[in-house]
């Protein structure tokens, strides 16, 4: 990481730091991609004044990570999560299906809405949380504009994903804002520790979510293969082909859920690797 001299640091605006304490001391510079990565690694080493200050700094850091295309897996796999006792012990073990959501263009929404953004984020999170619980899911974590849930059955995860997209689409938002969330699903056998889920399955789920677009529901090949029951009428899988995802040795086959009333046309998945050979489409 390039050294940030005292002079260069002094010239940075307050917006280039994730945390500014009550005495005006600026910590965790996030002025470029290298410093964002460093701030993610050092976040738990900072002595914050209170929990509210910590949460504000976390949200600014997450927004900066998103701006630079960084998927902060540590926020999902428990590196920054404290032990949650009974909540963790109640999470399902064995083969599970993860569902991750992320608000598309959250930084632009924040800049546009100002003070209204906090209420919008609360309402989006409530909609997602309600849909997850109604579909027998479990909330694992909620950080800034991202939400992480787990399900014992893949069909329940799909029910929640569809309910989330439909509910958000039907809502009128402040200042006529358009709120669209990315949704990624993956099925696997993660390890459940006293701080949450860890393992490759968590990383794949995060990559699938990052690859999707607002309003889209993307599935990994494992999540697709987990469906043994016939889909409800009006719902179908669409094969998008195989894509290289950052940090994964093999390209991943991605599937999109097409359903009545939801958008079905999107740009190619947001992956860093080359587009692999396309496979035959399944369903409409």
pLDDT tens-place string over residues 262-281? 999 999 998 755 454 444 44
Containing 221, the helix (H) or strand (E) segment is helix 221-225
Decide: 141 and 125 in contact? Cβ < 8 Å: no
Cα 269 versus chain centre, distance: 15
Spell out the long-range contacts of 273-280 with Cβ–Cβ below 8 A and sequence spacing 24 or more: 273/243, 273/244, 273/245, 273/246, 274/244, 275/241, 275/243, 276/241, 276/242, 276/243, 276/244, 276/251, 277/241, 277/242, 278/239, 278/240, 278/241, 279/239, 279/241, 279/242, 279/253, 280/239
pLDDT tens-place string over residues 15-54? 999 999 988 999 999 999 999 999 888 887 888 888 678 8
Return all residues near 75 (Cβ < 8 A) that are at least 6 apart.
Answer: 58, 62, 81, 141, 143, 146
Reduced to 3 states (helix: H, G, I; strand: E, B; else coil), residue 201 is: helix
pLDDT at residue 68 in the model: 85
pLDDT at residue 248 in the model: 80
Decide: 174 and 123 in contact? Cβ < 8 Å: no
């Amino acid at each position: 990481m390039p050294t940030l001299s005292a002079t260069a640091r002094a010239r940075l605006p307050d917006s280039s730091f994730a945390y500014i304490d009550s005495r005006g001391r600026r910590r965790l510079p996030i002025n470029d991609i290298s410093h964002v990565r460093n701030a993610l690694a050092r976040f738990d080493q900072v002595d914050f004044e209170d929990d509210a200050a910590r949460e504000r700094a976390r949200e600014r850091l997450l927004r900066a990570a998103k701006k630079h295309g960084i998927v902060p897996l540590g926020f999902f796999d428990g590196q920054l999560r404290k032990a949650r006792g009974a909540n963790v012990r109640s999470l399902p073990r064995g083969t599970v299906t993860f569902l991750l959501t992320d608000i598309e263009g959250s930084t632009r929404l924040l800049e546009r809405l100002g003070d209204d953004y906090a209420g919008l984020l609360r309402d989006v999170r409530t909609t997602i949380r309600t849909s997850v619980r109604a579909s027998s899911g479990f909330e694992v974590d909620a950080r800034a504009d991202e939400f992480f849930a787990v399900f014992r059955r893949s069909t329940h995860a799909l029910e929640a994903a569809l309910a989330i997209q439909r509910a958000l689409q039907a809502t009128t938002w402040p200042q006529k804002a358009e709120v669209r969330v990315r949704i990624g699903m993956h099925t696997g056998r993660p390890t459940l520790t006293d701080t949450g889920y860890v393992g490759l399955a968590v990383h794949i789920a995060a990559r699938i979510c990052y690859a999707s677009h607002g309003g889209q529901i993307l599935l990994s090949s494992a999540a697709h293969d987990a469906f043994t029951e016939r889909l409800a009428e009006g719902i179908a899988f669409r094969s998008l082909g195989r894509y290289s995802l950052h940090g994964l040795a093999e390209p991943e086959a991605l599937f999109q859920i097409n359903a009545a009333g939801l958008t079905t046309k999107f740009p190619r998945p947001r992956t860093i690797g080359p587009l692999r050979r396309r496979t035959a489409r399944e369903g409409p």
